[in-house]
């Protein structure tokens, strides 16, 4: 099968709207969490989130066009535009035949949930006469981000969306990776976006007892593995990767960040929202990714854990990791402690982090975690408080979603 490399990155996040700003803040251990400004959350059990800040869609989209797109699509456009520019690819001057070989796979768990809420609110506040925006449906549907990216760049290759809750964008990246490996495309724009800091989303996760309610200390609320963790912090944004067939990338002199070498997907088959305590789905996904990459567990230097800061979720994942890695001293950190949980966009921005970890030999830390839950098995090499500079040759990126979906990707340092 063909080898696949990463040649471009893009990011719109709670910690910055460019890859460099995002990465600098991740390495510095900063938090992107603050009070919710997108709606009045004063009566909600949780009134904080990890919002994208100072985002101006008109930097990427014509002013007259912005209203056609939900925020999750605006984020997707921005992140994919950044990644394409970063890759040095010139789609505008690429032949039509070559653009047949370029595709898009984009993940999201909620799509245009903000648009959906607003349209129903406007309808119910009216006199019952159905007056809906003509862009309502195309703004709302999850596949539209992938469609818009292809339309803007005239890309005619495989084009679709993946929906596997919080594993959505990691699933998209794995699918794009497989598409190139199998020779069905030469280049894929892959990633995911989410813009679900809305009343129904926050209220729904509150009702499910999933969100942290630490309103007194929002920046310290996401504390994976800590005995005092009380739920995740909802976030938003987008991450994008340009995946490219190696020979094509080398021939055009592309800058190569890392090589993608494996992807594994499985299912907990356990519960609507819960993770099995033994971590079966996690261990299956990781094992499949390792087998796909053709490597043994001892090769992995760093695991970017899904670790959302929920009681059962963190322990289930760690038990799954223990099944695969045993007592190997692989470094583990949870960058959601800084970014919050981007839901369907989480796997994409964590893939950006994983790629940059390999490229720069830096392992970002978990912030906020002070007292490891005694229910967590001993022997894990948690990176806490401060980023660590050390050789990073292989990284595992874990993501899990409601419904039992698991997706694990593996990136390695590129060598010719």
Judged on CB neighbours under 10 Å (0-12, 13-18, 19+), 137 is: middle
The CATH number of the domain covering residues in 263-412: 3.40.47.10
What are 43-95's pLDDT values in tens digits?
A: 999 999 999 999 999 999 999 999 999 999 999 999 999 999 999 999 999 99
* pLDDT higher than threshold 90 for residue 377: no
* pLDDT higher than threshold 90 for residue 273: no
Report the share of the chain in percent with pLDDT over 90. Answer: 95
The CATH number of the domain covering residues in 4-251: 3.40.47.10
User: What is the predicted pLDDT for the residue at 110?
Assistant: 98
Write the CB contacts of 246 (distance below 8 Å, at least 6 apart in sequence): 2, 3, 4, 5, 259
The Cα 175–Cα 183 span in angstroms is 13
User: What is the predicted pLDDT for the residue at 389?
Assistant: 98
What are 189-248's pLDDT values in tens digits?
A: 999 999 999 999 999 999 999 999 999 999 999 999 999 999 999 999 999 999 999 999
Between residues 34 and 274, the one the model is more confident about: 34
Are 80 and 191 within 8 A, CB to CB? Answer: yes
Tokens standing for residue 416: 């010719």
Domains 4-251 and 263-412 share a fold: yes
pLDDT band (50, 70, 90) for residue 274: confident
Q: Is 360 strand, coil or helix?
A: helix
* pLDDT higher than threshold 90 for residue 339: yes
Active site residues: 166
């Amino acid at each position: 099968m063909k080898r696949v490399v990463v040649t471009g990155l893009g990011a719109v996040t709670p910690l910055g709207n460019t890859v460099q700003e995002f990465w600098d803040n991740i390495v510095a251990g900063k938090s992107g969490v603050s009070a919710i400004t997108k709606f009045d959350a004063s009566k909600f059990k949780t009134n904080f989130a990890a919002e994208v800040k100072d985002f101006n869609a008109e930097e990427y989209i014509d002013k007259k066009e912005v209203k056609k797109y939900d925020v999750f699509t605006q984020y997707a456009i921005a992140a994919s535009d950044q990644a394409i520019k970063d890759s040095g690819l010139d789609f505008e001057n690429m032949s039509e035949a070559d653009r047949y070989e370029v595709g898009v796979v984009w993940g999201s768990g909620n799509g245009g949930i903000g648009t959906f809420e607003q349209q129903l609110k406007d309808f119910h506040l009216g006199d019952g006469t159905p007056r809906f925006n003509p862009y309502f449906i195309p703004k709302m549907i999850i596949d539209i981000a992938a469609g818009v990216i292809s339309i803007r760049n005239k890309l005619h290759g495989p084009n679709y969306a993946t929906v596997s809750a919080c594993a959505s964008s990691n699933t998209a990246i794995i699918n794009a990776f497989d598409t190139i490996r199998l020779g069905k495309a030469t280049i894929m724009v892959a990633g995911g976006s989410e813009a679900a800091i809305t009343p129904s989303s926050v209220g729904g996760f509150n009702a499910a007892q999933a969100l942290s309610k630490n309103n007194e200390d929002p920046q310290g609320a996401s504390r994976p593995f800590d005995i005092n963790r009380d739920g995740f912090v909802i976030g938003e944004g987008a991450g994008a990767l340009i995946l490219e067939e190696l020979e094509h990338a080398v021939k055009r002199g592309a800058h190569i960040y890392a090589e993608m070498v494996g992807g594994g997907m499985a299912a907990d088959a356990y519960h609507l929202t819960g993770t099995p305590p033994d971590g079966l789905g996690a261990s299956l996904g990781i094992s499949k990714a390792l087998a796909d990459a053709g490597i043994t567990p001892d090769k992995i230097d760093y695991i970017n854990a899904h670790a959302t800061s929920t009681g059962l979720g963190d322990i289930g994942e760690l038990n799954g990791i223990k099944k695969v890695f045993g007592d190997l001293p692989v470094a583990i950190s949870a960058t959601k402690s800084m970014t919050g949980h981007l839901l369907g966009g989480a796997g994409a921005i964590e893939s950006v982090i994983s790629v940059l970890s390999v490229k720069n030999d830096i392992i970002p830390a978990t912030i906020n975690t002070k007292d490891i839950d005694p229910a967590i098995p001993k022997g894990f090499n948690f990176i806490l408080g401060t980023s660590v500079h050390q050789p990073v040759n292989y990284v595992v990126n874990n993501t899990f979603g409601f419904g039992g979906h698991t997706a694990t990707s593996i990136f390695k340092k590129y060598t010719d």
